[in-house]
Structure 1
Amino acid sequence: MGQRDDRRLARKKQEMRRQKRRKKRRRRIVFLVAEILILCILSVIAYGMFKLDKLNVNPLKNLTNNGISQDGYMNVAIFGDDRRPEDTGNARSDCIIIASINNDTKEVKLVSVYRDTLLNTEDDTYDKANSAYAVGGAEAAVNMLNRNLDLDIQDYVSVNFLAVADVVDLLGGIDLELTDEEVVHMNNYCVETSEITGKKYKKIEPEVAGTYHLNGVQAVSYSRIRYTEGGDFQRTSRQRLVIEKIAEEAKKADLSTINKIIDAVFPEITTSFTSGEIVKMSAGLLQYSIGDNEGFPMDNETPDSIPGYQGSYVVPKGLEENVIKLHKFLFPDEDYTPTDTLKEISDHIKDVTGIYPDDSEDSTEDNEE
């Protein structure tokens, strides 16, 4: 009995030793797999960081606002640079868009600020909104938006014609429905856009309404059209539509296409975002969705002339009233009260232009209160 028990005990100890060895081997395999995965992830991150070096990063160092913050949202200014090859220095921003991202829902709302809007561009200077970018670059333009619209924009992205054309081409084009007159004007704009970008296009003939598959030159030219009914207001709507179409196609693109876009477009983009911030946002790219869009100012006039000013301007019918509507659109849950800075700017524009909010709107708001 004693010998049999000893043998049984010995076999049990051997089996326990074998189990320990198997556990160690499994543990080593798990660690090895984990190390390989970590190395793969680090390699991808390193590759991504290498790609991000292609971006022109220009941090905003002297941002100002009116003491406003929009908790739960990230507001980004997007500027379309209309620089021509012969231009030097800053050009006027042909396109000014505010992208407001809801951090919880990932919904992105777009607001186009009409470039000819009369606003406080710096100190005591009042001029067209797009002049701020020409005078002081992106930082001055962001501060102008923060000051006049009671916003807390802390980052921006600036792109030119070539960048947008490249993205559309690499995505294989976008489908847009055009009217008769849009086809005519787009064909006309394509001539200059092709010269600026160095890209080719095929003229649409006959020039009739329909749904067309546009390449990069055509998409950019479409977004530049302003000589139709609605003028600059309709032009900004076209710009927002092109952005929506690009976002839809980008979501469906494979990694190879995204890689080509990065190589071609990143050198044409200037931004305040750091590499780390871009990597963090890219991780949730597929969660973002384009929501509603709007033009600003919502209520406006385009007077034939303004005393002391030359050219055509878009004048808000009460900047303060328009900004209240803007905040309701972008931040529906925000408890917003216009700042004294905004009120002063609004009063000055009223005094200079003689343009005020409609009495009917005031009385309607009073009745609602």
Structure 2
Amino acid sequence: MSKKKRMSKKAEREERKKRRRRKRRKRIAVLFVEVVILAALCVVAYGIFKLDKLDMNVLNLDNLEAYRDTGPYTNIALFGLDSRNGELEGGVQSDCIMIASINNETHDVRIVSVYRDTLLQQADGTYEKANSAYNTGGPEDAISLLNRNFDLDIQNYVSVNFSALVDVIDALGGIEMDMTAEEAFYSNGYAFETAQVVGQEMVPIKEEAGTQLLDGVHAVGYARIRYTEGNDFKRTERQRVVLQKVAEKAKKANVLTLNEIVNKVFPQISTNLTIKDMLGFAAHIMDYNIVDTSGFPYAVTTDDSVRNHEGSYVIPIDFVGNVTQLHENLFGETSYQPSEKVQQIHDDIIYLSGVTEDTSAIESAFEGDIHDEGTQSE
């Protein structure tokens, strides 16, 4: 055989080897893609399986009184329930009422607590404390109360009882809290009661000032304190601080810890968020940052002589001004114009309480809140 033919056959063999290698690499690449797709489907399937543990609720959107489109923001109502028997849909007071506003472009989150004793217009046109709406009409009435009084477009909610918060904090290994001696004292008191409700043993913390690692019952006890300086205004601030610390620690938790939280907590949550909504939030979970927390109303007083009402109420001073500031703080709206409904509520509150724009405000903002130093675009 000539040298030329031998070279030609050798070249053919090399070419066949190259083709086999290319096919093998292609098969490996295809297999890799299939494995990735299969893994993704398993994650989604696992997530859907876990979501089955949630109390998924369907609301009648026509009853929510969503007033206006707030642009690139998703607004979610958060309700913390003092539920001793596991009630989630109504017949229980919402001790904690928050609005979480998520900027879908920057993933910044702003949280506003609505003081539970705030005098607001209810679904039937009467005026009562903000937390009575959930008790009488469940999440639909509670969401519509926020939309009606504040010109908002909330359509989704998450409700959780305090037992669930205990489980979350315990699973995360507790949270560190800088406390006064007075707060530590009351935290022990509330923790004892909370421990009885959730069936745990309470080990007292030191009743002294300083930073302490709080377990679930003590952290919930801390969030429920209302007998120190600042009363309920300070209490809602503590709730926001606890929420912030839990969110920060959860972002650093490993998969096993998060799985434990899901198994324990999901059965204690009620929501109308869809699987699609939740998977969308999950995709950006590491990007979300709480950049601002505050309490509403901003300018406020208390009054125990509201016309035709008994008990003490939180009264907004200049309701229109408060709602205007709410829109600027949450959405950067500098040209917000209150609706006729907000103006009517403003007038009704003055009539019922006698509290006018000239009334002196009491202290309701404290050092524990965080505030965004930047500006928002409209």
Q: Is the 8 A contact 1:65 1:150 kept in 2?
A: no
Instruction: Measure the CA separation in 2 of the matches of 1:185 and 1:231.
Output: 12
2:205 match? 204
Instruction: Measure the CA separation in 2 of the matches of 1:217 and 1:230.
Output: 22
Q: Is the 8 A contact 1:66 1:341 kept in 2?
A: no
1:367 match? none
User: In the TM superposition, what are the counterparts of 1:1-369 in structure 2 within 5 Å?
Assistant: 8-62=7-61, 63-65=63-65, 67-85=67-85, 90-205=91-206, 207-333=207-333, 335-358=335-358
2:367 match? none
- C-alpha displacement of 1:84: 1.8
- C-alpha displacement of 1:13: 4.0
Instruction: Measure the CA separation in 1 of the matches of 2:196 and 2:87.
Output: 14
Q: Is the 8 A contact 2:66 2:155 kept in 1?
A: no
1:254-286 per-position Cα deviation (integer Å, ceiling 9, x unaligned): 111001000011101111111222122112111
Q: Is the 8 A contact 1:66 1:339 kept in 2?
A: no
Instruction: Measure the CA separation in 2 of the matches of 1:102 and 1:358.
Output: 35
Instruction: Measure the CA separation in 2 of the matches of 1:151 and 1:354.
Output: 26
Seen in structure 2, the aligned counterparts of structure 1 residues 196 and 246 have a Cα distance that, compared at 3 Å, is same
Gaps of 5+ in 2: 362-378
Instruction: Measure the CA separation in 2 of the matches of 1:358 and 1:70.
Output: 31
Query: What secondary structure sits across from 2:112 in the alignment?
Result: strand
Q: What's the % identity of the aligned pairs?
A: 48
Deviates more, 1:9-18 or 1:291-300: 9-18
**2:273 partner letter:** F
Deviates more, 1:329-338 or 1:96-105: 329-338
**2:223 partner letter:** S
Q: Is the 8 A contact 2:67 2:147 kept in 1?
A: no
Instruction: Measure the CA separation in 2 of the matches of 1:238 and 1:86.
Output: 24
Seen in structure 2, the aligned counterparts of structure 1 residues 106 and 275 have a Cα distance that, compared at 3 Å, is same
Instruction: Measure the CA separation in 2 of the matches of 1:71 and 1:279.
Output: 21
**2:28 partner letter:** I
1:211-266 per-position Cα deviation (integer Å, ceiling 9, x unaligned): 11110000001101111111110000000000011011111111110010000111
Report the number of matched residues.
Answer: 359
Seen in structure 2, the aligned counterparts of structure 1 residues 222 and 352 have a Cα distance that, compared at 3 Å, is same
Q: Is the 8 A contact 1:321 1:357 kept in 2?
A: no
Instruction: Measure the CA separation in 2 of the matches of 1:72 and 1:334.
Output: 16
**2:98 partner letter:** I
Query: What secondary structure sits across from 2:251 in the alignment?
Result: helix
Instruction: Measure the CA separation in 1 of the matches of 2:165 and 2:51.
Output: 18
Query: What secondary structure sits across from 1:258 in the alignment?
Result: helix
**1:164 partner letter:** L
TM-score where L is the length of structure 2? 0.90
- C-alpha displacement of 1:357: 1.6
1:278-331 per-position Cα deviation (integer Å, ceiling 9, x unaligned): 122112111111111110000111023112000110011121110001111111
Instruction: Measure the CA separation in 2 of the matches of 1:309 and 1:6.
Output: 108
- C-alpha displacement of 1:104: 1.5
- C-alpha displacement of 1:7: 5.4
Instruction: Measure the CA separation in 1 of the matches of 2:204 and 2:2.
Output: 99
Query: What secondary structure sits across from 2:122 in the alignment?
Result: strand
- C-alpha displacement of 1:71: 0.8
Gaps of 5+ in 1: 362-369
Structure with the higher helix share, 1 or 2: 1
TM-score where L is the length of structure 1? 0.92
1:120-174 per-position Cα deviation (integer Å, ceiling 9, x unaligned): 1113111100000001101110011011011111111101011000001000001
